Amino acid sequence: MEPQRVLVAMSGGVDSSVAAALIQESGHDVVGVTLRLWGGESDSGCCSVSDVDDARRVADCLGIDHHVFNMGEDFDRHVVEPYVADHAAGRTPNPCIECNRHIKFDRLMRRARSLGFDRLATGHHARVVDMPDGSRRIARASDPAKDQSYVLHMLDQDVLARLDLPVGEMSKDEVRARAAGLGLRTADKPDSQDVCFITGASRGDAGRREFLGRRIPLTSGRVVDGSGAEVGRVEAVEMVTLGQRRGMELAGGDGPRYATAVDTATATVTVGSAADLLVDATPVDRAVWADGPVDGSVLVQTSAHGEPVAAVLVSGAVHWEAPHRRVAPGQSVVFYDGDVVLGGALAC
C-alpha cells in the first residue's frame, strides 16, 4: 500500500499508543488525536486530563503530531442524554456502543475525511477482514479475552473501507511488550474499566446512582412476585436491570430471586426464579448490518464478553435454539457467522 495520511485515535491507553506506532512503522504519515468528550466531574476514564497528557507524550516519543478535538456537545447529545433517558424508562443502556456509533466512527471519521486523511485507526482489539465478494467485516480479535468486536458491530462498509485496527492480531501481553520496547509511558497503564463519565471517587452502582440522581428523580418502588404480592422495596426503580439479583430488600422466599420486569411508570419491579427469566425468543429493533440484512441461523452474543449461542434470526426476533435468559431491553444483541460480525440490534 502506498503511504497514506492516517489519523489515529489515541485515548491515552497502551492499545492506541501501540496502534499509532504500528501505523507509523508501516510507512504512513501519522497524526494522533485525542477526543475531549466529557467536561464533567470525571477525573479518570477516557476523557481525563491525565489521559490527554499520556497521549500527547506518546505522540512526542513517536515523533508525530498530536491534536485534541472537543466533541463534548455531540457526546452529551448522543451518549449521555440517551443513557439517562434509558435509565428513566427502565432500559439498560450501553454508552460505549453509542459512543462508537455516533462519535468515534461517525463524527470523528467525518472530521478525518474533511481534514484530508485517507484512513482512521484505533486501538480496538478486533480485526477488519476482507470477504470473497470484496466487502469487509469486523471479526473477533486474536486475543479472546480482550475481543471488542461486540462494541464495533455497527460499522458499515463506508467506515470499514477506511478503518485500520492494528492491534487486533496481537495479544494484550504482546501489545504491552511492544510498548515497553518502544519506551512508551503507557506500557504498564491499567485498562479503563468504568463508564468514562461516571468515575472518580464514586464508582460502580454508587457512582451511577450519584450521576443519575443529579439528572432525574430516582423513585423508590415496590417489588412484587409473579402473583402481584408485594415482597420488598427498592430505593430506585431506575437503577434496576432485568436479571438483577442484588440491591433489592426482599422478604422470605425459597431461593434466589431475580428482576423479571421493571416498570418505571408504576415504580414496580417484578421478581421470580432463574427459570422465570428463560424465554424462547427475544424481540429486537434498530438493526444495523455490515453489508445487508441477514435472516436464518446465526451465533448471537448479548454482552461484551458473553458466550455466543446458536439462534435463528427471523423478522425482528431472535429465536433461541434452547431457552435463553432474557436480555435486558436496551442491550445490544450482536449477530456472528463464526468469528465474523454480521450486524446487531437492540433488545426490546
Whether 149 maps to a domain, the answer reads no
List the catalytic residue out of 46, 47, 96, 196: 196
Strands 258-263 and 249-250: unpaired
Establish how many alpha carbons lie within 13 A of residue 6's alpha carbon, considering only the half-sphere containing its beta carbon: 28
List the catalytic residue out of 61, 96, 99, 348: 99
The pLDDT of residue 192 is 77
The pLDDT of residue 249 is 75
Domain identity same for 92 and 227: no
Is 47 assigned a catalytic role? no
The pLDDT of residue 153 is 98
Domain identity same for 231 and 324: no
Domain span at residue 334?
Answer: 277-347
Looking at 241, 257, 272, which one is the last position of a domain?
A: 272
- Cell numbers describing residue 316: 425482528
Residue 315: exposure state from Cβ atoms within 10 A (0-12, 13-18, ≥19) = exposed
Q: Where are the alpha helices (DSSP H) in 102-171?
A: 108-114, 157-160
**Mean pLDDT, 10 residues at a time, over the chain (348 residues)?**
92 96 97 86 58 95 97 95 96 96 97 98 98 97 97 98 98 98 94 74 75 94 94 94 87 84 96 96 97 95 96 95 97 98 97
Strand ranges across the sheet with 5-9: 65-70, 29-36, 5-9, 119-121, 163-164
Helix, strand, coil percentages, rounded to 5, for the chain? 30, 30, 40
Whether 135 maps to a domain, the answer reads no
User: Which residues in 118-152 are b (16+ Cβ under 10 Å) and which e?
Assistant: bbbbbbbbbbbbeeeeeebbbbbbbbeebbbbbbb
Looking at 272, 304, 333, which one is the last position of a domain?
A: 272
The total number of structural domains in the chain stands at 3
The pLDDT of residue 115 is 98
The pLDDT of residue 250 is 83
What CATH number corresponds to the domain at position 236? Answer: 2.30.30
The pLDDT of residue 193 is 67
Identity at 111, one-letter amino acid code = R
Contact 104, 9 (CB under 8 A): yes
Domain identity same for 34 and 177: yes
Domain identity same for 281 and 321: yes
Contact 324, 282 (CB under 8 A): yes
Domain identity same for 116 and 55: yes
What CATH number corresponds to the domain at position 10? Answer: 3.40.50.620
- Cell numbers describing residue 109: 471519521
